[in-house]
C-alpha cells in the first residue's frame, strides 16, 4: 500500500462515513419523531425519506445506513492501522479492503437499482455513499499487489499479528462491541411500533381518573365545524398514511372503535392531514410524497365501500408506499376503476380536511380532539382515551 493509495482510501472512507452517519441519524429521526422533515427531501423525485422508509431501507432488520457506517469504519481501521508503514499487515490491508468493497459494490449497485428504477427517487446521501464505495473498490483493487487467491493463506498470519499488538486487538474488540450495540439498539419499525403503541385498554384507578378529570377540565377547547349527528362525544383524528405514529394509533385504537361501534352517543371522525405540499398548504416542506395519493385513494374507495380495506392496506405497506404503488392498490384493493379520473375531485376533499387541520392548529400527525379538547401530541394510551370518552359522556348527562 503506497502512501497515496492509503490517503485516498482514508479520504473516501471518511466521506462515506460522514454520509452514512448522517443517513443513520435521519433514519433514526424518521422512526422516532413524528413529522420529522429531512434536509435532503426536496421533492418526490429527490428524497431520502422515500429510500429509508421503503422496503429497501433495511436488510435483515438492520438499516442499510447503519451497515454503511460499519463498513466505512472497518475500512478506516484497515487502512489507518493495518496500512501503516510499520504494520506487518501493510501489504495485505488493501486486499482485505478490496474483498470487503467487492461485497459493498454489489450491495450499492442493488440499492441504486432499487432507488432509481423501483422507487424512482434520488437520495443524495445514498449517492454519496455509492461514490465512496466505488472509489474504495477501485483504489484498493489497484493497491493490491498479489493474486487474491493467495489472500486466505495470509489470514492466519495476519490474525496472529493482530493478537500480538495490544492496540490493534483493543480496536478490533471495540469495533465488534460497537457494531453489536448499534445493531441491537437502533430502533426498527416494528420495535418502534411496539414501543410507541399504547397499552391495552385497562380501566384506570380511581385516583388516575380523578387526576385525569382535573387536568381535562382546564384544557382549552376549540369549536369543531363538524356535524356531531346527534352524538354526545365526537373524537376527531387528523392522520397521514405515511406517518409511522399514525399507523400505531390506527392499530392501538381498533379496540376503542370496536367498543363504541353502534353506540350513537360516540362518533369517530377521520380527517386527512398529509404531510405533503401538493394537498396540504400547511405542510409545504412535507416529505411524505405518496401521502396525497394515499388519502385520495381512501376517499375514492368509499364509493366501493372498501375504504376500510384500503386504509388497512396503506398502513400495512406504509414503508414501501410510492405514488405508483398506491394507484395500483387503489384498483386492486379499493376497487377504484379509474384513479386518474377521480383524483382531482378526491384531492379537493383532502385539501378541505388539511385546511381544517391548519385552522385548528394541527402541526403534526396524529392529532386528536375529543369534543374540541386537543389531546397531547403523539399517541395517547387507549385506556386514557377511553376514560376521557366516558368522562365526556357523563358530563353530557
Predicted confidence pLDDT, tens digits, the chain (397 residues): 789 999 999 999 999 999 999 999 988 887 777 556 678 877 657 778 777 877 678 877 788 999 999 999 999 999 988 888 888 888 899 999 999 999 999 999 999 998 888 767 788 999 999 999 999 999 999 999 889 988 888 888 888 877 777 877 788 888 888 888 887 777 765 555 544 444 467 889 999 999 999 999 999 999 999 999 999 999 999 999 998 888 888 988 988 999 998 899 999 999 999 999 999 999 887 778 899 999 999 999 999 999 999 999 999 888 778 899 999 999 999 999 999 999 999 999 999 999 999 999 998 899 999 999 999 887 888 999 999 999 999 999 8
Residue 311 and residue 297 in contact, taking contact as beta carbons nearer than 8 Å: no
**Residue 96: closest CA among 107, 104, 85:** 104
Pairing of the two strands 233-239 and 266-272: parallel
Report how far residue 175's alpha carbon sits from residue 162's, in angstroms, rounded to the nearest whole number: 14
Which residue's C-alpha cell is 432499487? 114
Residue 222 and residue 110 in contact, taking contact as beta carbons nearer than 8 Å: no
Environment class of 321 (CB within 10 Å of its CB; exposed 0-12, middle 13-18, buried 19+) = buried
C-alpha cell of residue 218? 382546564
Domains of the chain: 3-187 (1.20.1440.130), 194-396 (3.40.30.10)
**Residue 11: closest CA among 176, 157, 132, 161:** 132
Looking at the chain, list the stretches that DSSP marks H as alpha helix, in order from N- to C-terminal side.
Answer: 3-32, 48-52, 64-77, 93-113, 124-143, 151-164, 166-185, 189-196, 206-216, 244-252, 254-259, 291-301, 307-316, 323-332, 339-359, 382-396
Total Cβ atoms within 10 A of residue 84: 14
Cα angle 285, 288, 292 (rounded to 5 degrees) comes to 100
Amino acid at each position: 500500500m503506497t502512501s497515496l493509495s492509503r490517503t485516498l482510501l482514508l479520504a473516501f472512507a471518511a466521506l462515506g462515513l460522514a454520509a452514512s452517519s448522517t443517513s443513520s441519524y435521519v433514519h433514526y429521526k424518521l422512526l422516532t419523531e413524528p413529522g420529522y422533515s429531512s434536509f435532503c427531501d426536496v421533492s418526490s423525485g429527490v428524497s431520502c425519506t422515500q429510500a429509508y422508509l421503503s422496503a429497501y431501507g433495511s436488510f435483515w432488520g438492520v438499516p442499510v445506513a447503519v451497515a454503511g457506517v460499519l463498513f466505512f469504519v472497518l475500512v478506516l481501521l484497515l487502512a489507518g492501522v493495518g496500512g501503516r508503514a510499520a504494520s506487518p499487515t501493510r501489504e495485505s490491508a488493501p486486499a482485505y479492503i478490496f474483498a470487503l468493497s467487492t461485497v459493498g459494490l454489489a450491495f450499492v449497485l442493488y440499492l441504486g437499482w432499487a432507488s432509481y428504477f423501483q422507487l424512482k427517487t434520488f437520495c443524495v446521501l445514498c449517492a454519496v455513499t455509492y461514490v465512496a464505495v466505488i472509489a474504495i473498490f477501485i483504489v484498493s483493487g489497484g493497491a493490491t499487489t498479489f493474486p487474491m487467491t493467495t489472500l486466505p493463506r495470509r489470514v492466519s498470519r495476519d490474525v496472529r499479528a493482530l493478537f500480538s499488538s495490544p492496540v490493534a486487538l483493543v480496536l478490533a474488540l471495540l469495533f465488534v462491541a460497537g457494531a453489536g450495540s448499534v445493531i441491537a439498539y437502533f430502533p426498527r419499525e416494528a420495535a418502534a411500533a411496539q414501543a410507541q403503541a399504547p397499552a391495552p385498554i385497562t380501566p384506570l384507578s380511581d385516583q388516575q381518573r380523578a387526576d385525569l378529570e382535573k387536568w381535562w377540565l382546564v384544557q382549552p377547547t376549540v369549536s369543531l365545524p363538524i356535524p356531531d349527528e346527534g352524538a354526545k362525544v365526537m373524537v376527531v383524528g387528523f392522520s397521514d398514511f405515511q406517518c409511522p405514529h399514525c399507523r400505531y394509533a390506527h392499530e392501538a385504537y381498533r379496540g376503542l372503535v370496536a367498543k363504541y361501534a353502534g353506540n350513537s352517543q360516540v362518533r369517530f371522525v377521520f380527517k386527512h392531514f398529509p404531510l405533503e405540499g401538493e394537498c396540504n398548504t400547511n405542510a409545504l416542506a412535507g416529505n411524505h410524497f405518496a401521502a396525497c395519493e394515499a388519502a385520495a385513494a381512501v376517499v375514492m374507495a368509499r364509493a366501493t365501500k372498501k375504504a376500510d380495506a384500503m386504509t388497512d392496506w396503506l398502513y400495512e405497506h406504509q414503508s414501501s408506499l410510492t405514488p405508483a404503488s398506491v394507484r395500483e392498490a387503489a384498483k386492486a384493493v379499493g376497487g377504484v376503476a379509474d384513479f386518474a379520473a377521480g383524483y382531482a375531485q378526491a384531492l379537493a376533499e383532502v385539501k378541505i380536511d388539511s385546511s381544517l387541520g391548519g385552522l385548528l392548529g394541527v402541526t403534526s400527525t396524529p392529532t386528536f380532539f375529543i369534543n374540541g379538547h386537543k389531546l397531547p401530541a403523539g399517541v395517547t394510551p387507549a385506556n386514557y382515551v377511553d376514560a376521557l370518552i366516558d368522562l365526556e359522556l357523563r358530563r353530557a348527562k
